Amino acid sequence: MKIIIKDSVENPVTLFRRAGYVFQRKDGEEMSFVRAFGRSGFPRFHAYTKMEDRNLVISIHLDQKKERYGESTRHQGEYTDEGPLKEEVGRIKGMFGGETSVHP
């Protein structure tokens, strides 16, 4: 899912820390954050952020399990607008404020 926060003036690191996320890494202009709700680190919400003009663009999904690599790569992510992911998107919109839009 994608969330766009228009005219964002606050640093994404500050926003996501306030929302309970941990900074994971930066790759070019994109930053990655996670919010785990299991002791093993999974399941977890995984968000990628980047600035486009003055808008903060957030791509978010729910990782159910750690990815497996080998003969077949499997990523146990949920990307649909339902259940816990839908609730998390609503929570983020409420915390970050401003004019937001959500795109499946």
Q: How does 15-39 read in b/e, with b if 16+ C-beta sit within 10 Å?
A: bbeebebeeeeeeeeebbbbbbeee
- CA atoms of 44 and 21, how far apart (whole Å): 10
| Assigned token pair, 92 | 């983020």
List the chain pLDDT tens, one digit each, 104 residues: 999 999 988 889 999 999 999 999 999 999 999 999 888 889 999 999 999 999 999 999 999 887 665 554 455 666 667 789 999 999 998 888 778 888 87
Looking at residue 67, its pLDDT comes to 66
Domains of the chain: 2-103 (3.30.310)
Rg over alpha carbons for the chain, rounded to the nearest Å, is 14
Q: How far is CA 73 from the centre of its chain?
A: 22
Q: Which long-range contacts (CB under 8 A, 24 or more apart) does 85-94 make?
A: 85/1, 85/45, 85/60, 85/61, 88/35, 88/45, 88/60, 88/62, 89/1, 89/3, 89/60, 91/19, 92/3, 92/19, 92/58, 92/60, 93/3
